[in-house]
Amino acid sequence: MNRQVPPGEAPLLHAQELRKQYGATTALDGAEFSIRPGEVVAVMGPSGSGKSTLLHCLAGIVTPDSGSLTYDGRQMAAMSDRERSALRRTEFGFVFQFGQLVPELSCVENVALPLRLAGTGRRAAEREANGWLERLEVAELAGKRPGEISGGQGQRVAVARSLVTRPRVLFADEPTGALDSLNGERVMELLTEAARSARAAVVLVTHEARVAAYSDREIVVRDGRSRDMAHAA
Ligand SMILES: Nc1ncnc2c1ncn2[C@@H]1O[C@H](COP(=O)(O)OP(=O)(O)OP(=O)(O)O)[C@@H](O)[C@H]1O
């Protein structure tokens, strides 16, 4: 299942000594992180240890107080807000635990939305979207609205939407957290298969070992510090 990443390949995202303080709370206390193109890395650790803060820093959503963070060799801190948001739109994809689909739009319109926002015409965007729904094995839901489908189906549609722009990094924060174990495993299988076929790296935040088992490598965060478990594929 795991695909080998050439050992010498430069990291796509690389974080060193990240620190982030929220008032008196230290969310990150010198966290390190590195991911290579196409690699799937699970970020594990107890509740409140700093996993989501790390993911938000890596994705350029939260600015760390200090530390170094590079994407494709470029310092994120040196980018303007505009450059960082362009990066999020064009190079990054996101899947969260809940509530990501627009309820008024059909599933195919939801998946096509990021392409439509980037200026792709409706027909081409929906053709691409239907291809992703097929890959996630939910093609038959194209015309349905999110309120008419199950939680597991909704997550598959959300994964399709996150990959439709062909991001280089997919950030997934507890993507199966709201699903039962059978549905969760199927979503993880499809998510990792689809990301691998698109050659997207995946930063997967989870507290479940069963979910982390789909990764190439695990990082454990404790008290804002990270440790590479190097469970080599
Ligand atoms: N926006 C914020 N404002 C204040 N404190 C915050 C904020 N975000 C996170 N924290 C605090 O920082 C610490 C790390 O939180 P974070 O959400 O990163 O942990 P986590 O490991 O993702 O937790 P969980 O598994 O419960 O989601 C916690 O003590 C949290 O309360």
pLDDT band (50, 70, 90) for residue 233: very low
- pTM across the whole model: 0.90
Q: Return the residue whose CA atom lies nearest to atom 8 of ligand 1.
A: 53
> What is the distance between the alpha carbons of residues 199 and 116, in angstroms, rounded to a whole number?
23
17-44 residue pLDDT tens? 999 999 999 999 999 999 999 999 999 9
51 Cβ below 6 A of ligand 1: yes
Mean pLDDT over each residue of the chain, to the nearest integer: 91
pLDDT tens digits along 53-85: 999 999 999 999 999 999 999 999 999 999 998
**Ligand 1 atom closest to 224 (CA):** 14
- Cα 99 versus chain centre, distance: 15
Task: Give pLDDT, residue 105.
Answer: 97
Going by alpha carbons, the residue nearest to atom 7 of ligand 1 is 22
pLDDT in tens, 134-172: 999 999 999 999 999 999 999 999 999 999 999 999 999
Among protein residues, the one whose CA lies closest to atom 26 of ligand 1: 47
In this prediction the ipTM stands at 0.96
